[in-house]
Amino acid sequence: VTVVDPGPGSTLTTLIEGLKKLGHGVNDIEAVCLTHIHFDHAGATGELVAMNPDIRVYVHTVGARHMVSPERLLASAKRLYGADFDRLWGRFLPVPEENISALDGGESVQLPGRTLAVAYAPGHAKHHVSYLDELTGAAYTGDTAGCRVAPASYAFPPTPPPDIDVELWRQSIEVFRGWSPSVLVPTHFGWFEDVEDHLDSLERNLALVSKRVKASLDRGMTAEGGVEDFATWHRQRLEAEGDEEMVRAYLQGAPPDACWHGLARYWRKREELGPST
C-alpha cells in the first residue's frame, strides 16, 4: 500500500478506518509519498512511521529536514494557531532520517507493480513535488493543481504564505499538461478527468486572484480592507458556481484571508526585488 499525503494527525483515525474498509492496515503501508509538508498533507506521517517503522517516506529535499526535525515548523505554527493547534492538526511526530528518501524532481519512485514519475511543482510551496503513476496515468498533484469541489468546474489556487510564486506556478501547470495525465488527483476534494478544462480554469483563476490582490495593494488598502474586498469578491464568484455547502468547502480548502496574505507577500517581494525578476 502507498499513501499519498496522509493528512494531519487530527484525522489519522479516519485514514486508518479508510484503510480498514479496503482490507488493509498501517502495517501494509510500504510508502508515504508527500507532495509537500503543510500540516494538512504531511502531519500524520510521523505517527504512521511510529506505528510501522518499515514505511519509506518520499518528500522534497527542502521539506525532508523539517520532517526529521520539525521543532521550528511546530513553533511557528503554534504561534499562528495558538490554543487551536492541537484541535486542528493533532500531533506532528518527527520521522527518523533513515526512513526518508529526499526528492528534487526528475526521479522515479519504484513501487510494487508500478512506477511514479516525480516532478518539482512549486508555486504553492517551494517544497512541493507531484507524482505521475505511469501505469494508470493518474497525476497526484497536491495543491499545485488547485482546489475544486465537484460538480463545479471552478479550479481555485490556494495561495497561503509564505512561498507563493505565480510564475513558478504557471510553469508547474505546464508540467502537468506535458504529462498528459488521464486524471488529476489533487489532495483535497476528489479527482477530475477533464484535465485540460481543469488546468485552464486554474490558470485563469490564478491570474485573476493575483491581479485582484495586486489591485488592492496598488490602491493602498490596509490588510483588513484587502482581505474583506478579496473575500467578498471570491464568495460572489463561488456562489455563481453552486450552493452554500459547496461554497463552504471551497472556503475551507482555501481560506480567503490566507490567500490574500500569501499573494500580498508575493507582490511585495516582487516590488522589493525589482522589475528584473
Residue 65's alpha-carbon distances to 62, 71, 94, 96, 229, in angstroms, are: 7, 10, 10, 10, 38
Percentage of the chain beyond pLDDT 70 is: 98
pTM over 0.85, yes/no: yes
pLDDT digits (tens, 9 = 90+) for 54-102: 999 999 999 999 999 999 989 988 887 888 888 889 999 999 999 999 9
2-195: CATH architecture: 4-Layer Sandwich (3.60)
Please state whether 222 falls in left (phi above 0), alpha (psi between -120 and 50) or beta. Answer: beta
Question: φ and ψ at 2, to 5 degrees?
Answer: -120, 135
Output the nine-digit C-alpha cell for 222. Answer: 490596509
Using an 8 Å Cβ cutoff, are 39 and 125 in contact?
no
pLDDT digits (tens, 9 = 90+) for 151-188: 999 999 999 999 999 999 999 999 999 999 999 999 99
Question: φ and ψ at 95, to 5 degrees?
Answer: -105, 130
**CA-CA distance, 126 to 13, in Å (whole number)?**
29
Q: Characterize the bridge pairing of strands 31-33 and 56-60.
A: parallel
